[in-house]
Amino acid sequence: MESQRLDLTPAVVKDALKLALKGSDGIVDLRDRLQPYLVLRVRGHVASWVVKTRDRSLKIGDAMPHTLVAKIPERRRRVSAVGDESLGLREAREKAKREWGKMGNQVEAPEEKPCWTWGELVENYKTYISGMREDSSGRPIYPSAETQSDVRQIFGRKEVAQYANLLLTNLNEDWFEDVQRELHEAYNYDAYRKFRAYGSAALNWAATYRRKESGLAVRKWWLLAEKRRRTPMEVEKKVERDRALKKKKEDFKVEHLGMLLTQHERFCASRTGNERVSPGVRWGLWWDSLTGHRRGSGTWVARKDLELKDLRGEPGWGLAVWQPEVMKTQSPFALPIPPIGLHIAQCCMRDWKLATERAGLWKRDSKWVFASRVLQSGAGDIAVSGSALANHIRNMRGLREGNHRDVLRGIPHFSMHIIRSTMGDHILDETDLPPGTASLMIGHEIAGDRRNELDRVGQTGKRWYFQAQRIPEKTRAMEAWSEALLKAFKAAGGIYPT
């Protein structure tokens, strides 16, 4: 039996009658939220109104008008019991109240046991992950835009969303496995993997912290659901993708990055009017190339977190700090910024201000160094996104509408993430810096590039600056990388950006 809790409306009744005309495979109970004892039951080609309690179910009338019954083939038609009448939604509500009262109950009596639907679980879980929380050890977890996007996408798939009205108490491991299979077959292994991860996480959260109201005071059946593996064809495709990615990383060197930035500057200079490249994108590509940051977080630097003069560092150098909420590691990350980096940041803030003035937004300001111009369209104060930078590269490749000229011919195909690898590999392979320096620069352990125990020191005061963040070592690495980057840029015919 399939049971759903929802608001019984004329539209819901209409859909139930369509199901009855078609014929249901089993019993489908649609339970009303307002009157939880009122149930619209579809069984085969019959749609009935039922008053249901824990101990008793009483049919109070037919939901299908006689005109619709006549459309059902006679051999499949089921004759109603003598005395049954055809009731509309309003009549069914009134009669259900009377019958409920005759059973010795109060009309306003709530449902015996509260229980969320799958849709309610999804909405409550999305609200939960959108706020600050902590892990089992008490460490704060900051909301992740990437995680929230993944959750919205996977739970929004029709293979999942179609079960929004099913009660959690009517779900089991067989249901979970069926959804996994549908997602895997309709999309790919990653769709299955995300549903299993986020579906299990949502159910675990509800069972642990919202047990009574969710109705999940039962065994954790979702943990019993079978896991899936990639198909042989998917394994072959993954091997091919991994091989292609490795080759892309090997092919894209710092000289190609210099060529990219040269063509980027020429492309930006050629765009005027409504086709003008935004300051955040123009200078953001430079910034990500210099800092080797992840595409999604590199440009998310607040103005208050950029020191244009670092008194503890090298003369003419600054310091940028990425806050935990924008870092994948959920820990603050700092990089020393050379003069070219400070120049890039200041040019972006200058050009963004000019762009807002051109748009007549004299009083608008942003807290971000690399602010997005969507602020001008009322989307809020946000930093330029990694997607905007990726779209800009596609535009230079001639892959977007309105531009079909590839200005990056001769440059191996790459992604923003490959730029990050290029920086790490250059520091690891082309410099004499100590082991572990490349890993420090990109905030990620590189195979064969071991760091020492100094990274375990507490993140306060001088220990945070000199030991936990290892600023002196990062400075030497940034100096080598920025020099190599500018050298490649000038070798490709680039002129110092202004």
Q: How confident is the model at residue 23 (pLDDT cuts 50, 70, 90)?
A: confident
Q: How confident is the model at residue 454 (pLDDT cuts 50, 70, 90)?
A: very low
E-state strands within 269-409 = 306-307, 318-322, 333-337
Q: What pLDDT does 65 receive?
A: 81
Q: Note the Cα 333 to chain centre separation in Å.
A: 22
Distance between CA atoms of residues 206 and 200, nearest Å:
10
Whether residues 362 and 430 fall in one domain? yes
Whether residues 175 and 46 fall in one domain? no
Distance between CA atoms of residues 177 and 173, nearest Å:
6
Q: What pLDDT does 105 receive?
A: 63
Whether residues 26 and 62 fall in one domain? yes
At residue 60, what are phi and psi to the nearest 5 degrees? -110, -5
On whether residue 496 sits in a domain, the answer given is: no
Segment 389-399, tens digit of pLDDT: 999 999 999 98
Whether residues 157 and 37 fall in one domain? no
On whether residue 464 sits in a domain, the answer given is: yes
Give the list of residues 6+ apart from residue 20 with CB closer than 8 angstroms, or none: 42, 44, 45, 46, 47, 63, 64, 68
pLDDT over 70 (residue 73)? no
In this structure, the dihedral spanned by the alpha carbons of residues 28, 32, 37 and 39, taken in order and rounded to 10 degrees, is -30
On whether residue 282 sits in a domain, the answer given is: yes
Q: Does 80 or 188 have the greater pLDDT score?
A: 188
Which alpha helices (H) appear in 222-312, and where do they start and end? 232-251, 254-270, 279-291
On whether residue 366 sits in a domain, the answer given is: yes
Of 393, 447, 395, 392, the C-alpha closest to 425 is 447
Whether residues 367 and 332 fall in one domain? yes
Whether residues 133 and 258 fall in one domain? no
Mean pLDDT, rounded, for 463-488: 89
Q: What pLDDT does 165 receive?
A: 85
Whether residues 180 and 146 fall in one domain? yes
Pick the last residue of a domain from 183, 202, 229: 229
- Range of weakest confidence among 66-75, 262-271, 475-484: 66-75
Q: What pLDDT does 107 receive?
A: 46
- Range of weakest confidence among 198-202, 261-265, 450-454, 483-487: 450-454
Question: Which residues, in sequence order, are bridge partners of residue 230?
Answer: none
**Beta strands 27-32 and 2-6: pairing type?**
parallel
Give the list of residues 6+ apart from residue 327 with CB closer than 8 angstroms, or none: 297, 333, 443
Q: What pLDDT does 127 receive?
A: 95
Q: How confident is the model at residue 151 (pLDDT cuts 50, 70, 90)?
A: very high
End-to-end Cα distance, the chain? 69
On whether residue 58 sits in a domain, the answer given is: yes
pLDDT over 80 (residue 256)? yes
Whether residues 214 and 265 fall in one domain? no
Segment 361-377, tens digit of pLDDT: 777 789 999 998 765 45
Q: What pLDDT does 70 receive?
A: 63
CATH of the domain at 318: 1.10.443
Distance between CA atoms of residues 279 and 287, nearest Å:
12
Tell me the three state secondary structure of residue 333.
Answer: strand
pTM above 0.85, yes or no: no
Whether residues 186 and 137 fall in one domain? yes
On whether residue 237 sits in a domain, the answer given is: no
On whether residue 333 sits in a domain, the answer given is: yes
At residue 381, what are phi and psi to the nearest 5 degrees? -90, 100
Whether residues 193 and 310 fall in one domain? no
On whether residue 110 sits in a domain, the answer given is: no
Whether residues 341 and 261 fall in one domain? yes
- Give kind and range of the element (H or E) at residue 150: helix 145-156
Q: How many domains does the chain have?
A: 3
Whether residues 483 and 338 fall in one domain? yes
Q: Chain-wide mean pLDDT for the chain?
A: 87
Pick the last residue of a domain from 76, 102, 128: 102
Confirm if 388 and 280 have CB atoms less than 8 A apart: yes
The tokens describing 385, both together, are 């996104």
Residue 466, domain extent? 244-491
